[in-house]
Chain A
Amino acid sequence: MIKFNNIFNLKITTFCLLASVHAVSAYSQNKQATNVSVQQTKSVKGVVIDSRTNKPVVGARITYGKAVAKLTDANGAFELNVNNSWAVIQVSMDGYVEKSVPVLFDQAMQIKIYPVGYNSNFESTETVFGDNSVLFAAGSIQKATINAWEQNSETITSYLQGKLSGVNVVRKSGTPSMGANLFIRNIGSLYAQNQPLYIVDGVVYNAEMLTPSITSGHENNPLQHIDIRDIQDVTVLKDAVSTAIYGARAANGIVVINTTHAKELATKIDLQVSTGYNFRPKAIPMMKSYNYRSYLNDVLATSPFTGEEIGAMPFNNDNPNFLQYPVYHNETNWQNEVLKNSLDQNYFLRVTGGDNIANYALSVGYNNEKGIIDNTNQNRYSARFNGDMRLAQKLSARTNISVGYGQQGLKDQGLSPKTNPIFLSMMKAPFLNTHDLAADGTVSPNYAEADYFGYSNPMQLVFNGINNKKAYRFHGSINFDYNFNNELTLSNLTAVTYDKSQEDFFIPKKGVAKDTVNNMEVFSRLGTQVGRYYSISNDIRLEFKKEYENEFKIQAIGGFRYQQHDAEQDYALGFNSATDHLVSIGNSTASSRSYGGYIGKWANQTGYALSNFTFRNRYIFNASLSLDGSSRFGNKVTQGVQLNGHKYAVFPAIGAAWIVSNENFLKNSQALDLAKLRVSYGIVGNDDIGNFNARDSYVSQNFLGVQGLVRNGVSNPYLQWENVEKINAGLDLSFAQERFNVSVDVYRNRTKDMLAYNRGNVVSGVNYYLFNNGSLDVKGVDASVFGRIVDSKVKWDAALTISHTKASIYDIPETMYTEYAGGTMITKIGESPNAFYGYTFEGVYSTAAEAAAAGLGVLNTAGEKISFGAGDAKFTDRNGDKIIDDNDKTIIGNPSLNLYGGLNNTITYKNWKFGALITYSLGNDIYNYTRSQLESGSNFYNQTELLNNRWKAEGQVTNVPKASYNDPMGNARFSDRWIEDGSYLRLRQVSAEYLFPVDKAIIKYVRIYGTANNLFTFSKYLGYDPEFAQSANIFHQGIDVTLEPQFRSFQFGVRLGL
């Protein structure tokens, strides 16, 4: 297998190299041919029309090759001479999407151009190739122009949701700036990174979550530091040929982000002020006091407590003279106490301008955003300075410098039942009060202590707990371009990133459940952490670009890139501060303190080359290649090439496209503007294999308080990158002067040499080890349909994306079972990874006779069979042995997406502009862990109203098993009871903007706008919201562990242009 891959690699590599050479030599042959052929000059006439007004455009540029350029006259008409029949002319105009059109000789051409922002197959974009047009690329590339002023509460990842095909965005939670998981064409790996590579202004922007947060359920999002209003456009590169020059980091696709640079010399000032209102989500219907008490006593009755003991419990004492009567006779809706509506504020200012030597774009922003957990908030500051300088005639420079700072007040979320206030707000007894109560019912200003069962009071955590985070990022780059002549450019791009996040937490003693950790009783918990990341990179490239006789275009780039990373995490955790007022780590008991973290450097070295050829504007060939070396690769890697004592991975890719519509037989077509076929093939890689996993190392092993060293298991010096082989075929069509456009891609990605855990053995002392011997298949179809639906006074542009994808394991050493949040996930050959694997729930035995007739049971720890009785859950006995055990599990759901996408609408009418975005996801399942806790019927947690229907008496027919303490029969076990359909359709965003008519001499524009987010969600999901992600780890997808949900919000703002 490895051998084959090697040869295979080698073949395409050679092909790519040869292709480059051939093309050049082919040209020289062609050149002779053209010289011989008679140069016929023919005249072409046409008119350029504005799509907005349907009127002719005056002053549009018509170019043909490098030599011929004309402007349209007052009637929008043009005429120019071309010297061959395959000629294609470019039509461009500031503020419009450039278009390339094959010439017609026998009739006047009508060319409609669309303003920037209109989705077009003719889009040009700046990507890793440099400035280029999507039209003349063979790869799968999609661009989104961004003008997101009205959506400033988004981060770049969440903003892209629903807008690009093949790009699945799952927002992690409702916490401000949490960001989203972004999967381009599904996943490519089980254990390595599945998030794309982000390239901001030409520089790799490391967006990995290197340091886990010490606040449970939270992740620091490095992308939060890019203010969405600073982004000019985003281009997503999906296939191999468009990404291969990023070799070992390109497996998950690339998101290229370009920030705003000044476009004109005049000084422009944009100012935005906005405010927003966030609505807490609708509460999950939990039992009220009366029903809860009945439930509680039901559970207690099955516990070891005796009847007298239960009767004596204070909540069962209904004597109004009882001292604690007021404490246990309340009706509190805890969710309404913890989740609150909140208000946001937001300011942003940008100044652009310059002279003919230097341009600048300077922006500063301040966002104050609040979460819907009471007392949580974020203050985010950002500043950016982008400059363009012409240093000499041939030398220009470009700088991008940004600084971001965010300060966030958080709360624990996710799997922390003692400290997650949202979870506590659901399970907390409704008959308790948030505050201490005196015997006469007087409410004390103090929040109540942990309750009778030791469950924390969420109000204590909300108001006296601390989870603070400060995050900074500096990202600066400087690029020099030296143009030797029109064809040859040398560029050097140097960038520095410094990122730091600092966190503190304090969980108070008062009101919070006690714990036992590390041999000690824990009352209060304290912690602090600093995570640091530093990176320096340099990318030098030589670009050659030339157009020969309007027939043959060539672009060739060769470069060398180096990046060094340095990351560190240091944390200290401690327990038991003297009082709840001393909250910093130094106040914890010295002996309880523990320290930890990691530190490490890694580096990449990449040599890369790419070439693009276009022949007669119809035939396009792309080839790209990189040689990627990394400090992470082992020293006995068998693949790749050996250079300088290191193994370099080879990533070749080729692509070809054919613009059929430029062929003579189609170019006359009135209906069809564009028809383009694309195919590409290549190999890209994933280097996220751990910094030092391939090295033999020693770790510290204490003997009492003395540190010794032991070998860190058996090393794997063969550890290498994962290879992903990608095949893509696409078709782009535009009809009726671009009113209707379709773009469809089918693809297959196969990951080879995928990291997989291999079973070790007893004698090696290794249970599992990582080896590159897994394989994963991803197949899918991406489609987008876009165009103008209504084209009258009202313009309605719409873009629909539909993506279907399926991942399946092609090869892994053994079927794997992963456990998370009480659920089991199976990953096996032929199935999609991480499928929910559990029992099938068939109902509840209504009578003892029914249970006896079924004859099912479970084995207790001693191996004796215990039979299910009336009121117990009925599970499918798959193997027919009458015992419900692991052998009866089956796949009961799958969290991976089936169909997803969005419908994006823009409607303009006079000075009004309306936007609406609908997103949807179909066919994915969710494991509702939260509900499995709130409907388990096995503990003292408050339960959802469903539990009112629990089985209570012989003969009762219901679907809810009886209450039973500690659930000895496993009625609440991981079964399809907790698996829900996660499909949803969401009116994700609606906006309206009005442009005031103003005197342009004084003020350029005044816009007011309103935006509504997450307005309606149609879903059968029973939790707060079907969209969430605990982390980017694929084994955590689709598991609802009680995160801060998405919420509805409104924003209102004013923009001024000066």
Chain B
Amino acid sequence: MNMIRFSKSFLIGTVCISILAISCSKTLDLQPEDKLDQSLMYNTLADADAAVLGIYGQFASLGDKYILWNELRADLVDVTRNANPYLQQLSNHEVAADNPYADPSLFYKVIFSCNDALHNFKIMQQQGKLSNIEFEQRYSDIMVLRTWLYLQLGIHFGEIPYINTNIEDVTQIKGLNTIQKTKFSDLIDQLINDVKDLPYTEYFAYPAGASLLFTTDGFITNKVFANKPHIIGELYLWKGNYLEAARWYKKLLGAEDNNSNIGQQFNHNRVGWYDSADANIQVSFARAQEGSSLVNSLTEGWRSLFALPNTNRHWNTEWNWAIPYHNSFAPGNPFIELASKEGKYQIRPAQHIMDVWDSKTNINGIPWDARGKMSYSIDNSGDPVITKYTDNSSATLTLLNKGGQWNIARAAGAHLRFAEAANRDGEGRIAYALLNNGIKSAFYYGAFNSNGTLAPASFFELESQISHKGFGANRVMYSESSPYHFDARDNQYIVRGVWYRNVGVRGRAMLPAIDFPGVKFGPGTANNYGSMMVEYNVPIEDLEDKIIEEAALELAFEGGRWSDLVRIARRRNDASFLANKVYEKLNKANNPKAAQVRAKLMDMNNWYLPFKIQ
């Protein structure tokens, strides 16, 4: 009896189980557990933040390519005897299609992630998963980053495929093989178009209190994200819209104009003087006329800029964009392997730039530009080694400690870029001021003390410390909204303009102002004391040459050189501007291919790396 009942219930049970298993279509819908299924992504703010961080995590591995493309191809960095043939190809401008350093796929990988994030951020906003401000910050951040990646690709490859849509699945890949490439000039228009109406373009990608602002592993994230004014300003420089370029760079320079912390307000991005608390980043000597007393330290002075962590106040006054590396986390600093003796030592400072540094004379008569000594050092075996990449204040960087940072953009660079824009926009004197010894020294028109210090005798004379056109009573002030308005008034009791500490890029490096025949100085308004500018008439290209040279001296090896050379040469439609400089590097290094390379680079079409889609 029992058995029969059992068999009945068994039958019914079996049938039920089977029907259940068949009918439940979810049984085949299994999601991965060690990856995140698409359906679980982009649902919350935390997902959006994770997407942003993931992209910057990928971005961190582009450091070595960025440096090699921009420096080794240009005139300041050369290969060593250890360099592999591929690096030699880069330096000699004979890059073969299979050269791994010329492979842009890592850049496109980040772009792929950017497109995915941009696509989904929009959906999140539409679905209300992100508030407007959360969306605006993240969307703008990733868009500007993508713009920078494309700009770099454009600079180095000329014509590139521009993709701004999400790639859904592999069937689209074949179609991409034959995608139309965008010309560099069109690309710039496209990129400007991408960023011009961005909803959030503040200096800091994420304001205080935003969830993406945090400290981790000894680093703070506020300057990790792409710096929008810096990138957009550069786009306008490429475009030739100088006023717009100046506006964006000015936005960067004046980022802390309203900061109530005066340390921040007066030092941040000002290229100012020594301020022990917040800006100990000047070139200085312990004893004025003694070269050996150069403050050549990883914790203070100009060199410490490249060694301090991004949480350091001094560091913070100068840097606008840098990606930290940490020994415990991939990818780790790639420059140790590339540039240091600890690693493979494949690149070195070009003989040419070493000679240029040594040809300058410091204001105290020391016969070299101290920035050279602090950008590279000569090791025991007499080899010059670039130190800018691998200086670290807390612990020596080695192959077993790959920390440090990939430093991308800083104040001195922004000053020079602003100067480039202003100069081209007909405001050469502002450019001159920022390049040389600062606003005050170029604009002050008034009385001096017998020791040469400024002693304005009236409000009128004090206000001459605000940038303006013309001289003396003929001066015409810029409106406050003009990017050329710099308030450097310096009176402890009455008023201090935010620029009063500005000493100019050369001033901070203890170099004299550059002599131009068109710049004339006269004595101050009282007792013939002092010296003030009474005439400014410098041809645009003359000043531009000097700005670019200064960029070499100040920003050598930092990754801006090739784009500077290309930008100016394109602007002037003069290939020799670039070709001659590269020639000089190769020639100084006794490279037998020097002349051949120059001839090649005289054709602008030969400036680009080969782009192999497949």
Chain A residues close to B by CB (< 8 Å): 391-395, 480, 482, 490, 492, 516, 519-521, 538, 540, 560, 562, 564, 591, 597-603, 605, 607, 629-631, 636, 644-646, 691-692, 695-712, 714-718, 758-767, 769, 771, 861-863
Contact = CB atoms under 8 A, between A and B. Distances in A.
B35 A712 contact: yes
21 contacts: A391-B3, A395-B7, A480-B14, A492-B14, A519-B332, A519-B402, A560-B22, A564-B27, A601-B33, A692-B35, A697-B37, A698-B54, A707-B53, A712-B35, A714-B112, A716-B169, A718-B170, A762-B614, A763-B163, A763-B176, A766-B170
B37 A695 contact: yes
A600 B326 CA distance: 31
B170 A701 contact: no
B17 A708 contact: no
B33 A708 contact: no
A711 B10 CA distance: 48
A675 B116 CA distance: 65
B57 A703 contact: yes
Contacts of A718: 169-171
A560 B18 contact: yes
B50 A707 contact: yes
Interface stretch (B100-108, B377-385, B592-600): B100-108
B502 to A, nearest CB: 34
Nearest to A597: B34
A391 B7 contact: yes
A771 B170 contact: yes
B149 to A, nearest CB: 12
A605 B112 contact: no
B395 to A, nearest CB: 13
B330 to A, nearest CB: 7
B58 A701 contact: yes
Contacts of B177: 761
Q: From B167, B401, B402, name the one whose CB has the most chain A CB atoms within 10 angstroms.
A: B167
B524 interface: no
Given A599-B33, A708-B57, A560 B14 contact: no
A707 B56 CA distance: 11
Contacts of B219: 704
Interface in B24-38: 25, 27-38
Interface in B236-283: none
A703 B56 contact: yes
Contact of B173 (A560, A629, A769): A769
From DSSP, what is the main secondary structure of chain A's interface residues? strand
Contacts of B41: 698, 709
A605 B55 contact: no
B399 interface: yes
A702 B28 contact: no
A630 B161 CA distance: 38
Contact of A708 (B27, B38, B55): B55
Given A538-B21, A862-B88, A714 B169 contact: yes
Contacts of B176: 761, 763-764
A711 B7 contact: no
Interface residues of B, number: 83
Contact of A769 (B170, B326, B328, B400): B170
B288 interface: no
B7 A394 contact: yes
B329 A709 contact: no
A697 B35 contact: yes
- Interface hub of A629, A631, A696, A715 (most chain B Cβ within 10 A): A696
B35 A603 contact: no
Nearest to A695: B37
B169 A646 contact: no
Given A602-B30, A714-B170, A765-B112, 7 more contacts: A482-B7, A597-B34, A692-B32, A692-B35, A697-B35, A706-B214, A764-B173
B613 interface: yes
Contacts of A607: 22
B552 interface: no
Contact of B328 (A699, A701, A705, A758): A705
Contact of B53 (A630, A631, A708, A715): A708
A521 B88 contact: no
A645 B25 contact: yes
A764 B84 contact: no
Nearest to A643: B25
Contacts of A591: 328
A703 to B, nearest CB: 4
B179 interface: yes
Going nearest first, the 9 A-B pairs with the smallest beta carbon separation are: A708-B53, A708-B54, A765-B109, A392-B3, A703-B57, A710-B54, A644-B25, A696-B38, A701-B54
Interface in B536-575: none
Contacts of A696: 37-38, 169
A645 B27 CA distance: 11
B329 A562 contact: no
B327 interface: yes
Nearest to B106: A765
Greatest chain B CB density within 10 A among A391, A705, A761 is at A761
Nearest to B40: A698
A161 B88 CA distance: 57
B60 interface: yes
Contacts of A863: 85
A374 to B, nearest CB: 36
A703 B116 contact: no
A762 B327 contact: no
B316 interface: no
Contacts of B11: 482, 490
A391 B170 contact: no
B479 interface: no
Given A482-B10, A603-B30, A711 B3 contact: no
B210 to A, nearest CB: 15
B4 interface: yes
A521 B400 CA distance: 8
Given A692-B35, A697-B37, A701-B54, A490 B173 contact: no
* Residue among A516, A602, A630, A697 with most chain B CB within 10 A: A697
A769 B614 CA distance: 13
Interface string B568-594: 000000000000000000000000000
Given A560-B22, A601-B33, A696-B38, A711 B116 contact: yes
Given A601-B30, A708-B50, A716-B170, A702 B330 contact: yes
Contacts of A716: 169-170
Nearest to A760: B173
Nearest to B330: A702
Given A591-B328, A705-B326, A707-B50, A697 B399 contact: no
B415 to A, nearest CB: 30
B603 interface: no
Nearest to A591: B328
Contact of B170 (A394, A490, A698, A715): A715
Contact of A704 (B23, B179, B216): B216
B326 A704 contact: yes
A763 B179 contact: yes
Interface string B167-185: 1111111001101000000
B614 A709 contact: no
A246 to B, nearest CB: 17
B162 to A, nearest CB: 9
A395 B25 contact: no
Contacts of B29: 631, 646
Contacts of A605: 21-22, 27-28
Contacts of B7: 391-392, 394-395, 482
B171 A598 contact: no
Query: Which one of A391, A703, A712, A862 has the greatest number of beta carbons of chain B within 10 Å?
Result: A703
B493 interface: no
Contacts of B113: 710-711, 765
Given A646-B25, A646-B28, A395 B34 contact: no
B111 interface: yes
A519 B399 contact: yes
